[in-house]
Every structure is written in C-alpha cells, then in structure tokens.
Amino acid sequence: MYNLELQNNLITTSVYGSAIALILIGLYAVLVKKNLIKIVIGLSIIDAGIHLLFVAIGYIKGFTAPIFSPGSENLANKMVDPVPQALVLTAIVIGFATTAVALSLVIRLYKHHNTARIDQIKSLKW
C-alpha cells in the first residue's frame, strides 16, 4: 500500500504540480483553441501530464528502478513498483497511435474544408 501523503520534498511537489499544470494547459488548449492542430497538441499535452502524474505517484524516494540485474537481488524491497511505469509505457504507445490518427484526420479535414478551425467544421449537426 502506498501512502498518498505528499512528501515534503520540493522536487516531488513540483513534479505533481507540473503534471497537473500540464493537464490543465492541455485542457485549455483543447477547450479554447480553435485550431485543429492546437487541439491535437492539447490532447498530447494532457496525455503527457497524466503519464507524468502516474509515474510520479509510482516513484518512492530513494528506491531504485525495478530491474533485476546481477548484484541487485538484495535491493528487491528497495525497488519502486514497476507496474505504473509499465502502464505508462503502454499509455504512451496508445497516445502515440491516437495522435497519429488525429493528425491524419486533421490533414483530411484541412483538405476538404480548406480550414483548420474547428468551429467552422460543423456540417454535421443537430
């Protein structure tokens, strides 16, 4: 079980803070910016923020990477949980795929509509 109490470490706090800031920045981009590319970038930023947050939560101060290598067997209880990192890796891949699809769609939208403003692309409505 992990404690969620915030460690007094300034660095850790700043990591959490920047993660949340990233999420909010991304959200701002997605919700307010009109340009499709900017929206896609915003989505990526949100993803990045989430990933950062997850990794940060998984990290315990002073623990090492969860890699078993010769000579590190005795460090087994001093390792951080590998699962969040594994998850984040997967999520990054997924985010990559999503971004790729998104960008291809943006290209096609631009071709069809001659604009990249999301508020002008609403031929499907109601």
Partner 1 sequence: MVISPVHYIAVPLLAAFLIPLLSKFIHKELARIVPGIVFLYSIFISITLMLQIGDKGIISEVIAGWQAPWGINLVFSPFSGFLASLMSIIGFLIWLYSYNFKKIDKEQSQKYHILQMMMVTGAIGIVLTGDIFNLFVFMEITAITAYSLTSFYRERDGAEAGFKYLLIGSFASVLILLAIMILYTQLGTLNMAEIAQKSHLIPTSLKTTIIVLFLVGFGIEAEMFPLNGWAPDAYSQSPGPIGAAFAGIVVKAGVYALVRVIFTLFDIHGAYDFLIYGGLITMIIAETSALAQTNLKRMLAYSSIGQMGFVLMAFGIGTHQAIVGALFLMFNHAIIKSLLFMSGSYLTYNSLTKQISALSGLGKKLPLVSILFGIGAFAIVGLPPFSGFWSKLYVLSAAADKNMLLLIMTILAVSIVEIIYYFRVVSTLYYGKQNPEIEIQKPSINAMVSMIALGITILVVGVYPDVITNLLENAATALTDKATYIQSVLTQNLPIN
Partner 2 sequence: MNSFFLILLILLAGAAISFALGKISSIISGTVAFLSIASASVLFFTQLKNNTYIEFPLGEIQLQWGIDSFGYIFALIVLGLGSLASLYSISYMQNKERTGIFYFNFVLVITSMVGIIFSQDFISFFIFWEIMTWSSYLLIIFNKKDVKEIGVKYMIFSAIGAYSMLTAIVMIKGNYNTFLISDAIQAGAFNFTNNEYIPILLLIGFAVKAATMPLHVWAPKAYSNSPMSFTVIFSGAMSKMGVLGMALVLVRIFTFNANNEAILPNFSPIILQQTLAWLGAITAVIATLYALMQDDAKKLLAYSSIAQLGYITVGLAIGTKLSVMAALFLAIVHGIFKGALFMVAGAVERQAGTTDMTKVSGLIRKMPFTFFTALIAIIALAGIPPLGGFVGKWMLYESLITESNSYFLVILVFFSSTSAFLYCYRFLFGLFLGQEEEATKDVKEAPITMIIPMLILSVLLMVTGAYPGILFDPIAKGMETIGFNNVTWDMSVLGNIWGNSVNMIYVWLTIVIVFIAAFIFLTLKGLKGTRYVSTKDISTSGEIPLEHENLTFQINFFQPFRRAAAPMYKRSMDKIWNEIGSGLESLFNFTRKIYTGNGQTYAIFVIAFLVLMLLLKDTLFLN
Q: H or E segment at 65?
A: none
Residue 27 within binding range of partner 2, rule CB under 8 A: yes
CB of 3 vs partner 2, minimal distance in Å: 23
Given 4, 6, 10, 67, the residue binding partner 1 (CB under 8 A): 4
Residue 39 within binding range of partner 2, rule CB under 8 A: yes
CB of 39 vs partner 2, minimal distance in Å: 7
Tell me the sheet residues that pair with 35: 117
Give ∠ CA 54-58-63 in degrees, rounded to 5: 150
Question: Residue 125, by phi and psi: left (phi above 0), alpha (psi -120 to 50) or beta?
Answer: beta
Q: Which stretch binds partner 1 (CB under 8 A): 9-17, 60-68, 70-78, 100-108?
A: 100-108
